[in-house]
Structure 1
Amino acid sequence: MQISRWVAKVFGDGSDVPEFRRAQYSELSRQVPLMYAIIIINMVMLALTYVGKAPAILSIWLPAVFVAVCLVRALRMAYGRHHVPSDEAMGRALRTVVVLACVLGFAVSTWSLALFSYGDVFTQGQNIFFTAITIITVMTCLRPLHQVAPALFILVIVPTAVFLALQDNNVFPAVAINMVLAIGGMILVMQRSHSDFRDRIYKQIELDSQRTQLESLNGAISLLANQDSLTGLANRRSFLNALDQRIADFKGDGKTAGFAVGILDLDGFKPVNDVFGHVVGDRLLQEVARRLPASLPPETLVARLGGDEFALILPPAGVEELQEICRRALAALAHPFTFPEGSVTISATCGIACFPCAAETGCELFEKADFALCYSKQHDRGSVTVFSELHEAGIKKAAAVAQRLRSVVVEQAFHLDYQPIVDRNGMPLGFEALARWRDPVLGDVRPDVFIRVAEQAGLIGKITVPLFRSALRAARSWPDDLRLSFNLSAFDVCSETTMTAILAEIDAANFPPQRLMFEITESAIMQDFSRAVDALSLLRSKGAMVALDDFGTGYSSLSYMRRLPIDRIKVDRSFILDLENEATARDIVRAISSMCQSLGLECIVEGVETHAQLHFLATSGCTGYQGYFFSRPMPQAAIAGYLGEQEQLRKTA
């Protein structure tokens, strides 16, 4: 058993590993042609020595056959250096080399010994030298095939040594012993060399495997780092890198065409999450990620920035063409999304900024596209807005407003006007506090402007709390039956710091919470529905009331209204502008009023300006009114006079 294992170890080719076979083949393809060249030269020299002394078959024709075979094999191996065969063909080629080495070695040594008796002592010495050198050459050049050396030792060296030992000349037995010992020692050295060769190849195989695994891991990490895991689109990091690269290419060669950046925001996505749950919300985002690229030009990069916001790098095109491209994308998203839980319909709004006319850096380009998006959402939700000089002026104005907001003392810079909220007889139910700002540098700044800028700059809390404190001081001088209505922004409601400060102001002013009505818009609630509900519930637990302001302009939905902790709905003024002329407007107002009655809510209508409007609203069941028909906003100093006039009217009625 030990002998069989030794034989298997010595003569096994170890070529079951494809990478090892390739290394053997590569090494041999360089060395075999050289080996055959040496063999050919040795055979020609030996054959020439015996020409005229030995028969032609031995000295001419047989060597010619050997030379032809060697030439063919040498050329084939040389050809293989430039044309790598398959692993299977490689295995056959290596086995062929082993077989030919043994067969050719045995044949050539037999030929050499056949010539031995035809020469004198000198030619016989050359004969022995030829055999030894040829075998050493073959074993050395075929070192990657470790089974060749022991095979040739058995097939050639041993028979040759026996042949020499049987000669009458005493020198030849000594040469035989010397040959066996020397070549046997060489075989041991070559076996160690082959082991080193094998170990080196296997280590290289291991290193290559580790490198492949590392590259695969790097690829996976790179994919995770640059791909949105939910939608499979490029993520924010990948988008910004691609944006910077496009700008660098443009500035680098001057030949890259300009492009445009678009930012697209879904309208109505948050209610989907709230009504159907986040699982449906995720599936909706995945479907949006499928529809968007299909509706845009093939060269467009589509990325998900986070939440329900997506970004585009659009190919060069004119302003009108860019708008049309993005309108088609928005139209693709307007079709209903059908899920097992129900059908969902959303819309989207898009802002675009063109490079290089709008900005020359990625950061500025992104900011201006975002500004165009915000402008579009505020003025024409569901549309496409391309950043222009008009928006540039808006940015500069917003920056100036933000700069002034950071430097002013709110109590000194701002003041409050109060607009009454009345019943159907015109008697006041309370007053809504309205912030006003007249700046010595900017002049009169509209509330919608400074409130939006304050929210974007994170300064709204700086304004809200001092103004609420001022409103509480004013309301303490009013009759006890009048409420104070105060507006809260989305940032106020979602800010734990601001809400804590408001509750602290109520306690500090010793003002009855039951006389407070906090107004918040639908869109503000939907910024973070859960947190808004928690904050409003906290106010109601304190005893205050909550009104849903600008009803009908945001995400009106009974599915979430029943979950809101509210006491009053304020119908937006846009619903009564054409109340006298449009039957549809009247039907909508009746429906809202009826809904409020069913839900046990007060229904207050804003923007009342005519007696006809008031008459219709009163007959429709609305419980309160606000508008220029009753009174414009007034400073605190005028409230006492207004209340006196209303009291006189009540007495004379």
Structure 2
Amino acid sequence: MKKDVSMMRKSMNAIRHSLLSYLQIPGYIRQEFLHESKRKNDVSLHIICVVIFVIEFYNLARVLLWSKSGLGTQNNRIYFSMYCTLILLGVLWLLLRRPLRQASVRCQCAVQYTVSGLILLWHLGLNSYDLIRDPAAGVTVLTTALLALALLIQMPPWYSIVQYVISYLLFQFIMAPLLDGGSRLNLTITFVVALTVSLAQAHHTSVTLKQQKQIIEINAKLQALVHLDPLTGLLNKITVECRAEQLLFDLEYTAKHGGLTLFLLDLDRFKVINDRYGHPCGDHVLVETAEAIRRAFPDPAGLGRIGGDEFAVLYDQPLTEEQAMFLGQEFMAELRSIQWQGQPIEVQCSIGVCICTLPQSSYQDLYTETDRMLYQAKKSGRGQCCVLKLKAPENREIEMAGAKE
């Protein structure tokens, strides 16, 4: 017995959870939902206003021109006033559309929901008056308005529930006493259908936006995989090359930058670390080296891993030799903090730097010169930073610095 009660509670909780999820717009797509609702409702209300003008101006002409009594009877004056009221509501909406564009999306949607609610109330009032005059008039006016607004106006589920419940209560209070049982049942079913259509429309839009969001996120991840090194999260070799080529293009054709600076960083004796501690430790060192690069090189144009244990740092400006050497020494100091399983590891790095201010330089030339500086640093005893300022071939300056212990 207890097991049956427990299963029943679980089933009820599952149903309640499903119902609540159906009636809620997730927070991460709520803004997109409002934007989409605003766009749809703006078009729908514009169409509704055109229909209102056509129908109600025809009704005004019918009262003024084709009715024998014109405005001489109270009945005609009431109808005339109601037609004018709906036309004024449409005109008011059209006048509000442009200034409303400066307001927040939430405010614009609120005005749209208010206008659609007033249109529904107007039809409820008109149909009520028709029934007071003639009990056989039927409920076509209200039925049409209910289904049309449910199809054309999109709003969050709870807004729909509030609007249609209030309208239904007003119907029960005003119109139901004027109708027979069958008509009351039919109009009740129409209210339920209209609410269901409105909720289904909101749910469909919510699902579509969720799918679009997921597709965007998947595309972003795929795009990141194209440009990023999967282990370190730095740019990959091709992306570094593309960025450098773009900066060289800017230097040559747009004078957008005064030059650029390329660092090549190569870990010393990385194979020894792999052999001594194993490849998991080697991967850990590469990841920690990437973090050290992020800390030591502020505001770069690009940080990348371009080989097994070789990294690149790109600046979109020509640093001075002093600045380049200072950054190199800061990075080598950061490497000293790398540990494996709580024990410090001696990680060193050689750095080659090339500062380029020459137009018409290619990335291959820049890379070759920087790699030459890297080789010079390794040849000088490793743990060194060697800097070249790329000038005319006959006038090149080289500076070298070691890691400060």
User: Shorter-chain-normalised TM-score: which range?
Assistant: 0.5 to 0.7
SS, match of residue 229 in structure 2: coil
8 Å CA contact retained: 1:265, 1:309: yes
Report the counterpart of residue 271 of structure 2 in structure 1: 270
Q: Which amino acid in the other structure matches residue 151 of structure 2?
A: P
For the structure 1 residues 389 and 240, does the alpha-carbon distance in structure 2 shift closer, same or farther, using more than 3 Å as the test?
closer
TM superposition shift of 1:106: 1.3
TM superposition shift of 1:31: 0.9
For the structure 1 residues 389 and 338, does the alpha-carbon distance in structure 2 shift closer, same or farther, using more than 3 Å as the test?
closer
For the structure 1 residues 222 and 390, does the alpha-carbon distance in structure 2 shift closer, same or farther, using more than 3 Å as the test?
closer
Report the counterpart of residue 121 of structure 2 in structure 1: 100
Residue 72 (structure 1) aligned with residue 89 (structure 2) = yes
8 Å CA contact retained: 1:58, 1:111: no
Q: Which amino acid in the other structure matches residue 45 of structure 2?
A: S
TM superposition shift of 1:56: 5.0
The structure 2 residue matched to 1:144, chosen from 144, 151, 160, is 151
TM superposition shift of 1:344: 0.7
Residue 336 (structure 1) aligned with residue 337 (structure 2) = yes
- In the alignment, the residues of structure 1 paired with residue 334 and residue 24 of structure 2 have an alpha-carbon distance, to the nearest angstrom, of 57
Q: Which amino acid in the other structure matches residue 314 of structure 2?
A: I
- In the alignment, the residues of structure 1 paired with residue 291 and residue 80 of structure 2 have an alpha-carbon distance, to the nearest angstrom, of 75
For the structure 1 residues 316 and 222, does the alpha-carbon distance in structure 2 shift closer, same or farther, using more than 3 Å as the test?
same
- In the alignment, the residues of structure 2 paired with residue 32 and residue 105 of structure 1 have an alpha-carbon distance, to the nearest angstrom, of 17
TM superposition shift of 1:362: 0.9
Report the counterpart of residue 239 of structure 1 in structure 2: 240
SS, match of residue 151 in structure 2: coil
Residue 291 (structure 1) aligned with residue 272 (structure 2) = no
- In the alignment, the residues of structure 2 paired with residue 102 and residue 53 of structure 1 have an alpha-carbon distance, to the nearest angstrom, of 23
- In the alignment, the residues of structure 2 paired with residue 48 and residue 113 of structure 1 have an alpha-carbon distance, to the nearest angstrom, of 22
- In the alignment, the residues of structure 2 paired with residue 307 and residue 235 of structure 1 have an alpha-carbon distance, to the nearest angstrom, of 11
- In the alignment, the residues of structure 1 paired with residue 393 and residue 372 of structure 2 have an alpha-carbon distance, to the nearest angstrom, of 9
Q: Which amino acid in the other structure matches residue 387 of structure 2?
A: V
Structure 1 or 2, whichever has the larger Rg, is 1
SS, match of residue 326 in structure 2: helix
- In the alignment, the residues of structure 2 paired with residue 113 and residue 70 of structure 1 have an alpha-carbon distance, to the nearest angstrom, of 24
For the structure 1 residues 143 and 74, does the alpha-carbon distance in structure 2 shift closer, same or farther, using more than 3 Å as the test?
farther
TM superposition shift of 1:298: 1.5
8 Å CA contact retained: 2:265, 2:350: yes
- In the alignment, the residues of structure 1 paired with residue 214 and residue 283 of structure 2 have an alpha-carbon distance, to the nearest angstrom, of 32
Q: TM-score, normalised by structure 2?
A: 0.62
- In the alignment, the residues of structure 1 paired with residue 271 and residue 92 of structure 2 have an alpha-carbon distance, to the nearest angstrom, of 74
For the structure 1 residues 95 and 352, does the alpha-carbon distance in structure 2 shift closer, same or farther, using more than 3 Å as the test?
same
TM superposition shift of 1:300: 4.3
Q: Which amino acid in the other structure matches residue 332 of structure 2?
A: L
Between Structure 1 and Structure 2, which shows a larger proportion of helix residues?
A: 2
For the structure 1 residues 88 and 208, does the alpha-carbon distance in structure 2 shift closer, same or farther, using more than 3 Å as the test?
closer
Question: In the TM superposition, what are the counterparts of 1:163-202 in structure 2 within 5 Å?
Answer: none
The structure 1 residue matched to 2:80, chosen from 60, 63, 88, is 63
- In the alignment, the residues of structure 2 paired with residue 389 and residue 34 of structure 1 have an alpha-carbon distance, to the nearest angstrom, of 70
For the structure 1 residues 263 and 389, does the alpha-carbon distance in structure 2 shift closer, same or farther, using more than 3 Å as the test?
closer
- In the alignment, the residues of structure 2 paired with residue 53 and residue 225 of structure 1 have an alpha-carbon distance, to the nearest angstrom, of 75
The farther-off stretch of 25-34 and 355-364 is: 355-364
Question: In the TM superposition, what are the counterparts of 1:121-520 in structure 2 within 5 Å?
Answer: 144-145=151-152, 213-314=214-315, 315-333=317-335, 335-340=336-341, 342-357=343-358, 360-387=361-388
TM superposition shift of 1:289: 1.1
SS, match of residue 349 in structure 1: strand
For the structure 1 residues 369 and 277, does the alpha-carbon distance in structure 2 shift closer, same or farther, using more than 3 Å as the test?
same
Residue 43 (structure 1) aligned with residue 45 (structure 2) = no
- In the alignment, the residues of structure 2 paired with residue 271 and residue 358 of structure 1 have an alpha-carbon distance, to the nearest angstrom, of 41
TM superposition shift of 1:224: 1.1
TM superposition shift of 1:32: 1.7
Q: Flag the structure with more relative contact order, 1 or 2, with Cα contacts below 8 A and sequence separation at least 6.
A: 2
- Any stretches of 5+ residues in structure 1 without a counterpart? 1-13, 115-127, 147-154, 156-194, 394-653
Give the CA RMSD over aligned residues. Answer: 4.7
TM superposition shift of 1:87: 11
Q: Which amino acid in the other structure matches residue 343 of structure 1?
A: P
- Any stretches of 5+ residues in structure 2 without a counterpart? 1-21, 26-32, 154-170, 172-196, 395-405
